[in-house]
Copies of this chain bind each other. A is one copy, B any other.
Amino acid sequence: MKKTETRIQKKNHSAIKSAGLKVFAQFGFRGSTLDQIAAESGLSKPNILYYFSSKEAIYEALLAQLLTDWLQPVRDIDPAGDPVEEILKYAKHKLKMSRLYPRESRLYATEIIQGAPRIKSVLTGELRDVVENLALLINHWADSGLIRAVDPYHLIFSIWAMTQHYADFDVQVKAILGEKDHFEDAEHYLEDMLRRMLTV
């Protein structure tokens, strides 16, 4: 039942979302204007509203996409794999997302900081379930003696915090470390930390 988009629709939908991401990630929902998105996308304001019914619709389309991309890698953790390597794989994946898609990370961060008014139900629903399952798996691994016993929730939080930090606080990191790429060192540190935490 999915209407096929025309060539122009495809192009403009994506141009608007791309511009919206740039603007919303920097100013948050209320701080962003349709005029900014219009300027950034190269389309006129009425034209933007021809493709999305409102400013809010653009924002929500971005959030929806984001949440999917966010949750998938958690689900991809293999209960049958090597525990330390699986957690490390996940952490490195998140770090890579911070490097490649810092704006997505910032958009998510501003939404959460503002109290997550539009996605609270996802947080207490899908996200919570996914995290709970992962926590159970980590506890199971610990019980089996495959990793050291740690609080699974705070382990997950620490991975999120550390990886997203490099996207969200990018200017601060760069102010301190300079402009050269610091992700390699970050990955090394993260790996070292997780191995120390998880190795028996």
Binding site for B on A (CB under 8 A): 25-32, 106, 109-110, 112-116, 120, 123-124, 127-128, 131-132, 150-151, 153-155, 157-158, 160-162, 164-166, 168-169, 171-173, 175-177, 185-186, 188-190, 192-193, 196-197
In the complex, chain B residues whose CB is within 8 Å of the CB of A151? 185, 188-189
A157-B165, A162-B162, A197-B196 known; A189 vs B112 contact (CB < 8 Å): no
Residue of B nearest to A115 (CB): B171
Interchain CA distance A101-B172 in the complex, whole Å: 20
Number of identical protomers:
2
Distance of A35 from chain B, by nearest CB (Å):
13
Interchain CA distance A166-B112 in the complex, whole Å: 12
Interchain CA distance A154-B177 in the complex, whole Å: 10
Distance of A143 from chain B, by nearest CB (Å):
18
Residue of B nearest to A114 (CB): B26
Interchain CA distance A109-B123 in the complex, whole Å: 20
Contact in complex: A189, B30 (CB < 8 Å): no
List the 8 shortest-distance A-B pairs measured between CB atoms, nearest first.
A30-B31, A161-B165, A123-B175, A154-B189, A31-B31, A161-B161, A124-B175, A196-B196
* A–B Cβ pairs within 8 angstroms, 16 of them: A27-B28, A27-B30, A28-B114, A30-B30, A109-B109, A109-B169, A123-B171, A123-B172, A151-B188, A154-B190, A157-B169, A157-B173, A157-B186, A158-B158, A161-B165, A196-B196
Distance of A123 from chain B, by nearest CB (Å):
4
In the complex, chain B residues whose CB is within 8 Å of the CB of A154? 185-186, 189-190
Distance of A152 from chain B, by nearest CB (Å):
10
Interchain CA distance A128-B116 in the complex, whole Å: 32
Contact in complex: B172, A27 (CB < 8 Å): no
Contact in complex: A158, B189 (CB < 8 Å): yes
Interchain CA distance A195-B141 in the complex, whole Å: 22
* Given A27-B28, A151-B188, A161-B162, 19 extra CB contacts under 8 A: A26-B113, A27-B31, A28-B31, A30-B30, A31-B31, A110-B110, A110-B113, A112-B169, A116-B171, A116-B175, A120-B175, A123-B171, A127-B176, A151-B185, A153-B177, A155-B189, A158-B189, A161-B169, A192-B197
